[in-house]
Structure 1
């Protein structure tokens, strides 16, 4: 079976004038396939639909797309499934086309990273990145295709003993890791960074917030900076692939495993 499809066609190609290639004019979602089930697929579709609207084009998942993704999941029962939407071909200039008829859908299947299982059981460590995220409220929260900031972040080697980057914005507020959303437990409850100006509001972040509230835990969305880490007792990170992973160390701040992360993984069926 093929591992990439463009508009439902296996091993097809993208026009070199595609706006996703030229300008990053599109967005994407990465989904976990577990035992041939695409986890939280409707929530992923909703985020894609909302993100497309914020970029200025209308999109809904078609039955043919759903059928293709289901086939991919059945053929690849433990994998990563990526759906990328591009506005399509629209000329040389920045001005987007008026029609939605050229929207391209790219579906691809990828192996599931082995390291995620060990991270779930052992936790990981974060090092602060010197690359700061720009603040742009019109794009904040969307997983759009222009990810040059993340490319710059990941281009720098981590120091020994660290697994991922802690990322700040240009006002030095804590935003996320290079690939996941963050949660911190302090004396006032569980806090997750405000993403009104930068960062990606991940689907799993939303699911975890709902689950924490169902567990009668206090959750707040707030601005945080590195000085706040002295008040943090526990921290963990989330995305749709690795699920929920404890953070053992942020720079020189040693943290203990949160007492509820195992229950979170169990309730959301995230255990690897």
Structure 2
């Protein structure tokens, strides 16, 4: 069941722009013991996305209250929140869309993340490239066809996740996670200013490392950069952080940085 504008229902108008054009944004949060982990980061993400997409959503307190109430009855689950521009306007023109729609749903938490934490994951290399578009980069908008294609390819491979490049051949992220690696004391993560998603856990990890006096370098790099890494890990709001045991053909045994960060991400 979905909570749509405060009412439990399962239907949207066929002319809702989230259906017509993918015109909206979303976030996916982890519920633990009735509370949403990193709630403020999820709200900030939605606010930034609405600002970037010119969606006139203003009911932030109502949204946060509903999110909190929905989570309260859950022990360990996944909360997805969508903000659609709503219905109205003709064609692509959004100027007559003054009533954005808020949508929430709860689903079961994925069981396999616990196993991934113990064993580590293997990363392949996707043949699907991400387009470069600074206007949409960083935010989690509803246009996810690139991820659908990446995931469809991943389902045919013998890897847990896959590294995704942009159209220039630079690493961006994984299908549903951000990527970090360590070389000596230096920590790296790809830029997401031209494509990809600036995940809430990515933001949290960068902030934690900065507080600890560690330098995190955002760079544009090809997959060859991983050949020289001492360790690597992936993250998102649900995992929240998973060690990488192999990226393409490179194996890692160190979990030094992962072990330091894991308790700070729970």
TM over 0.5: yes
Q: Does 1:170 align with 2:161?
A: no
Alignment of 1:1-272 (within 5 A): 3-100=1-98, 102-156=99-153, 157-160=155-158, 162-187=159-184, 189-268=186-265, 270=266
- 2: distance between equivalents of 1:137 and 1:169? 12
Specify the SS of the correspondent of 2:256: coil
Distance in structure 2 (CA, Å) of the matches to 1:120 and 1:250: 16
- Structure 1 segments unaligned to the other structure (5+ residues): none
Q: Could you report, residue by residue, the CA deviation over 1:91-141 in whole angstroms, capped at 9, with x for unpaired residues?
A: 4401112453x2010000010000011112221111100000000010000
Alignment size in residue pairs: 265
Distance in 2 (alpha carbons) for counterparts of 1:265 and 1:60: 35
Indicate if the aligned counterparts of 1:17 and 1:91 stay in contact, CA closer than 8 A.
no
Measure how far apart 1:41 and its partner are: 0.7
Alignment gaps of 5+ in structure 2: none
Q: TM-score, normalised by structure 1?
A: 0.93
CA distance in structure 2 between the partners assigned to 1:43 and 1:197 by the alignment? 21
> For residues 127 and 220 of structure 2, what CA distance do their matches in structure 1 show?
19
Aligned mates of 2:209, 2:119 — CA distance in 1: 21
Query: Is the 2:209–2:216 Cα contact (8 Å) retained in structure 1?
Result: yes
TM-score (norm 2): 0.95
Distance 2:123 2:59 in 1: 36
* 3-state secondary structure, aligned to 2:49: helix
Q: Is the 8 A contact 1:49 1:60 kept in 2?
A: no
- Give me the whole-angstrom Cα distance separating, in 2, the residues matched to 1:188 and 1:130: 31
Q: Secondary structure at the match of 1:155?
A: helix
Distance 1:266 1:144 in 2: 30
Q: Which runs of 4+ in 1 moved over 3 A?
A: 60-64
**Contact in 2 for aligned 1:127/1:158 (Cα 8 Å):** no
Q: Is the 8 A contact 1:49 1:58 kept in 2?
A: no
* Secondary structure at the counterpart of residue 260 of structure 1: helix
What's the C-alpha RMSD, in Å, of the aligned pairs? 1.4
